[in-house]
């Protein structure tokens, strides 16, 4: 701002006068010890020539610079907790903030601001200024040594301060008084040296503040990330307005409650936090709970530094504890930090952090609604959008930042190929959903189509209904208003049941191919854990990653996860039932398509069956289906001899077994350099029978061999 330059000049004049007064006091103390006096005091206007100047970059200053140094502050209360240093020592008339002879009109010096904000008494302020003088005036070290009658002490001490400053107070040495509580001074106290004689130096951040440079402490900078200001959609703006109204009605002098932002979408929560912080004239900074130090002393240092910064800058804390479980070791430190941080603070959590020591406001934050997402897609894509906004909003659940990123990337990539925009958008959206799921499940590349699926017409019709419901979710739920009337049961879930090899996995591939979605098989070994609570954590990560849309979750051998709940006889039964209950809740609230496959339908909990929208039985293939499978099992490029599909269809085999037999016969034919014929197929059939522990009736095989003949 334009006011910054004249304020800086006035601040320099203030420091010049204050330091000249201190230097004169040191000279008088040196003369009382009969030591040679220091050089005569330089005029106040010349004193600051030896101190570093603040460079003023071109352009306007941030508005908080003038606000801080003009005595205005962000609309947040001071730190309020049991450990806060007393501020009663600051006289009500403001004398603690003024140095002798300082009169700059409306320009309040930075040292006066610091003294009032941090509760320094006049004596404590002058002790701090004495230490700051060591940084700003090269004559101070010699004067300190002369005043203490000890050439080995060219530095300030509390003893020196008691000797040369007015109204000395012993309680200034207390750890609970501002000089030490706020870490304004560094005390160099080797061995058994008394505190009163220890060397003192001013904290670098404090020196620069007094000189007029107000910036975030560089010890906090590596731990903090400034949150960007974002435009909120109406649903999230309503949450921000509700929280702002509650915060603004906190009685003056009362600490603000911690705002707990609950849910899985951290990006939306950060946008809400920064919107609220900006309304208070503050900047929100994100601190990850994972970066909190483990040692108690380091924790306390971090806490004090943040408290101090929140007094010197308009700051708000955004503590990201989304990955911290309530029973974890870090949970206790997070609660302690929140209870003492003071000011405007947000916590990113999945569930509320209950603590009697912390007042809190809790709100659930969701991603923008499907209608809001569709509107943003439409606005970003413009006239070239076509039907894409509705399709993208129906299949994907993105926050606004990700939508903007995908849309702009697709428009840039398809700038010269407008016809390819739809495909580019779809592939870009799928690419953004893959990284999280690739870490938790196995991706299956769908290759099967409807023609490859050999099922009765009734089962095929049910599969087509599943595809239609997934494709039309946006129309029914949003355009037709069903989402407003239902708070659960919005997921599309299906159970595929039948013997192994009857086509359950292939049917899932067909649906993925039809809908253009990614198919992920859930690896039970990576999900199920013998440790209590770990299975739920793994499932939570899995479902959270899949909530972005664009994926079908395929739970193969689902009875291992979705088994019946048992009577509680011990703690293991209780926790096993908790896992099943958690699965019931997440499956019902999951917004995508979840497919459960099992060959043991009777082992599933009945509660799952009630919540499944589709149950499709994959029957053992009949003769007609088996013939169709045999006829389509060989690729067009394969060398195939004369085969009797009618006779092969009489073998009681599933599609999976037929696929395995055809593949084994192909390898034998390739080895022998001959086409795939009936004898090789029958040898492969015998091998399959042995694998399945099926009896081999050689009479049947001789009859089949007669159809193809011996080579």
pLDDT in tens, 196-219: 999 999 999 999 999 999 999 999
* pLDDT tens-digit series, residues 546-569: 888 888 999 887 776 666 554 444
Cα–Cα nearest to 97, from 124, 79, 72: 124
Cα–Cα nearest to 392, from 544, 508, 264, 548: 548
Residues 359 and 382 in one domain: no
Residues 530 and 574 in one domain: yes
Is residue 217 in some structural domain?
no
Residues 340 and 485 in one domain: no
* pLDDT tens-digit series, residues 74-119: 444 333 343 444 443 333 333 334 444 444 556 899 999 999 999 9
- Do the beta carbons of residue 627 and residue 645 sit within 8 Å? yes
Of 364, 390, 416, the domain-final residue: 364
State residue 172's pLDDT score: 92
| CATH code of 513's domain | 3.40.50.300
Q: Can you state the angle between helices 370-381 and 388-395, rounded to 10 degrees?
A: 140
Instruction: Tell me, rounded to whole angstroms, the distance of Cα 678 from its chain centroid.
Output: 60
Q: Which single residue is written with the structure tokens 């008691």? A: 162
C-alpha dihedral (380, 383, 388, 389), degrees to nearest 10: 50
Of 174, 191, 211, the domain-final residue: 211
- Do the beta carbons of residue 388 and residue 516 sit within 8 Å? no
Residues 194 and 241 in one domain: no
Q: Is the pLDDT of residue 184 over 80?
A: yes
Share of the chain above pLDDT 70, in %: 81
State residue 129's pLDDT score: 96
Residues 614 and 661 in one domain: no
Residues 430 and 478 in one domain: no
Higher pLDDT residue, 308 or 574? 308
Is residue 553 in some structural domain?
yes
Residues 52 and 184 in one domain: yes
Sequence-distant (6+) residues with CB within 8 A of 447 are: 509, 513
Alpha helices of 200-328 — where are they, by DSSP H? 204-211, 234-248, 266-279, 296-312
* pLDDT tens-digit series, residues 441-463: 889 999 889 999 989 999 999 99
Q: Is the pLDDT of residue 504 over 60?
A: yes
State residue 82's pLDDT score: 36
Q: Residue 227 carries which DSSP code? A: P
- What pTM value is reported for the model? 0.79
Residues 80 and 174 in one domain: yes
The C-alpha atoms of residue 673 and residue 258 are separated, in whole angstroms, by: 76
Q: Residue 272 carries which DSSP code? A: H
Over range 487-510, report the average pLDDT.
86
Q: Is the pLDDT of residue 46 over 70?
A: no
The DSSP secondary structure of 451-469, one letter per residue, reads: GG----HHHHHHHHHHHHH
Domain assignment of residue 58, given as a range? 4-211
Is residue 216 in some structural domain?
no
Q: How far is CA 190 from CA 194, 195, 199, 378, in A?
A: 9, 10, 9, 68
Residues 32 and 145 in one domain: yes
State residue 675's pLDDT score: 92
* pLDDT tens-digit series, residues 600-649: 877 776 767 777 889 999 999 999 989 999 999 999 898 888 888 888 88
State residue 102's pLDDT score: 45
Tokens of 307: 């408290």
Classify burial at 397, counting beta carbons within 10 Å of its beta carbon; exposed 0-12, middle 13-18, buried 19 or more.
buried
Over range 314-320, report the average pLDDT.
93
Is residue 194 in some structural domain?
yes
Over range 347-371, report the average pLDDT.
82
- Do the beta carbons of residue 304 and residue 181 sit within 8 Å? yes
Residues 675 and 602 in one domain: no
Q: How far is CA 186 from CA 204, 228, 270, in A?
A: 10, 34, 35
State residue 65's pLDDT score: 46
Of 406, 438, 470, the domain-final residue: 438
Over range 637-666, report the average pLDDT.
89
State residue 617's pLDDT score: 92
The C-alpha atoms of residue 228 and residue 298 are separated, in whole angstroms, by: 28
How many CA within 13 A on the CB side of residue 519? 22
Q: Is the pLDDT of residue 71 over 60?
A: no
Cα–Cα nearest to 478, from 388, 369, 615, 320: 369
The C-alpha atoms of residue 470 and residue 549 are separated, in whole angstroms, by: 11
* pLDDT tens-digit series, residues 122-140: 999 999 999 999 999 999 9
Which three-class secondary structure state does DSSP give residue 347?
A: strand
Average pLDDT, the chain: 82
Is residue 445 in some structural domain?
no
Q: Is the pLDDT of residue 227 over 90?
A: yes
Expressed in percent and rounded to 5, the helix, strand and coil fractions of the chain are 50, 10, 35
Residues 577 and 635 in one domain: no
Over range 417-437, report the average pLDDT.
85
Cα–Cα nearest to 407, from 379, 369, 436: 379
Q: How many domains does the chain have?
A: 5
The C-alpha atoms of residue 549 and residue 555 are separated, in whole angstroms, by: 17
Beta bridge partners of 350: none
The C-alpha atoms of residue 269 and residue 262 are separated, in whole angstroms, by: 8
* pLDDT tens-digit series, residues 258-297: 999 998 889 999 999 999 999 999 999 999 988 888 788 8
Q: Is the pLDDT of residue 510 over 80?
A: yes
Residues 228 and 281 in one domain: yes
Q: Is the pLDDT of residue 404 over 50?
A: yes
């Amino acid at each position: 701002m334009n006011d910054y330059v004249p304020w800086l000049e006035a601040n320099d004049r203030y420091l010049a006068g204050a330091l000249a007064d201190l230097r004169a006091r040191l000279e008088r103390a040196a003369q009382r010890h009969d030591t040679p006096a220091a050089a005569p005091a330089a005029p106040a206007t010349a004193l600051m020539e030896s101190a570093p100047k603040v460079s003023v970059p071109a352009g306007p200053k941030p508005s908080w610079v003038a606000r801080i140094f003009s005595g205005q502050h962000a609309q947040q209360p001071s730190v309020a907790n049991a450990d806060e240093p007393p501020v009663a020592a600051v006289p009500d008339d403001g004398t603690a903030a003024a140095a002798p002879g300082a009169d700059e009109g409306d320009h309040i010096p930075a040292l006066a601001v610091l003294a009032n904000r941090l509760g320094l008494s006049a004596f404590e302020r002058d002790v701090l200024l004495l230490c700051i003088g060591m940084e700003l005036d090269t004559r101070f070290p010699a004067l300190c040594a002369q005043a203490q009658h000890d050439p080995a002490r060219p530095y300030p001490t509390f003893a020196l301060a008691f000797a040369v400053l007015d109204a000395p107070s012993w309680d200034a040495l207390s750890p609970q008084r501002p000089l030490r509580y706020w870490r304004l001074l560094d005390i160099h106290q080797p061995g058994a040296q008394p505190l009163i004689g220890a060397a003192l130096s001013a904290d670098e951040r404090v020196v620069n503040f007094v000189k007029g440079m107000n910036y975030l402490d560089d010890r906090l900078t590596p731990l903090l990330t400034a949150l960007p200001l974002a435009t909120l959609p109406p649903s999230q703006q309503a949450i921000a307005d509700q929280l702002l109204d509650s915060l603004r009605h906190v009685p003056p002098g009362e600490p603000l409650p911690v705002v707990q932002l609950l849910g899985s979408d951290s990006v939306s929560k950060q946008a809400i936090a920064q919107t609220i912080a900006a309304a208070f004239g503050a900047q929100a900074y994100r601190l990850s709970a994972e970066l909190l130090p483990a040692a108690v002393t380091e924790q306390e240092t971090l806490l004090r530094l943040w408290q101090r910064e929140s007094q010197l800058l308009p700051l708000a804390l955004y503590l990201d504890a989304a990955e911290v479980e309530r029973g974890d070791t870090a949970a206790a430190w997070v609660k302690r930090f929140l209870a003492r941080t003071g000011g405007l603070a947000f916590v990113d959590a999945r569930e509320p952090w209950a603590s009697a020591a912390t007042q809190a406001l809790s709100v659930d934050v969701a991603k923008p609604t499907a209608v809001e997402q569709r509107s943003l897609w439409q606005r970003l894509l413009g006239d070239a959008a076509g039907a894409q906004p509705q399709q993208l909003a129906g299949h994907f659940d993105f926050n606004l930042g990700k939508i903007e990123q995908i849309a702009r990337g697709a428009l840039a990539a398809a700038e010269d190929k407008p016809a390819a925009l739809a495909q580019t958008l779809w592939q870009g959206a799928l690419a953004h959903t893959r990284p999280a799921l690739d870490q938790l499940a196995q991706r299956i590349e769908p290759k099967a189509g409807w023609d490859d699926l050999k099922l009765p017409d009734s089962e095929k019709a049910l599969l087509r209904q599943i595809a239609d419901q997934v494709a039309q979710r946006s129309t029914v739920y949003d355009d037709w208003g069903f989402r407003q009337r239902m708070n659960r049961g919005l997921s599309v879930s299906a159970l595929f049941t039948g013997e192994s090899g009857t086509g359950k996995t292939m049917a899932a591939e067909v649906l993925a191919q039809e809908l253009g979605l990614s198919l992920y098989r859930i690896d039970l070994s990576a999900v199920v854990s013998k440790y209590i609570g770990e299975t739920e954590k793994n499932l939570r990560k899995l479902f959270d990653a899949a909530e972005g849309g664009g994926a079908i979750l395929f739970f193969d051998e689902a009875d291992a996860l979705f088994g019946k709940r048992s009577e509680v006889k011990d703690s293991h039964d209780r926790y096993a039932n908790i896992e099943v209950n958690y699965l019931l809740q997440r499956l019902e609230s999951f917004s995508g398509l979840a497919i459960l496959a099992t060959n043991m339908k009777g082992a599933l909990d009945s509660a799952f069956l009630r919540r499944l929208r589709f149950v499709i039985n994959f029957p053992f293939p009949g003769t007609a289906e088996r013939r169709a499978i045999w006829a389509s099992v060989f690729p067009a490029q394969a060398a195939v001899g004369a085969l009797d599909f009618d006779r092969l269809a009489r073998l009681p085999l599933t599609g999976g077994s037929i696929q395995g037999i055809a593949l084994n016969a192909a390898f034998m034919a390739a080895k022998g350099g001959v086409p795939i014929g009936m004898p090789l197929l029958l040898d492969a059939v015998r091998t399959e029978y042995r694998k399945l522990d099926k009896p081999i009736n050689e009479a049947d095989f001789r009859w089949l061999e007669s159809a193809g003949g011996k080579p």
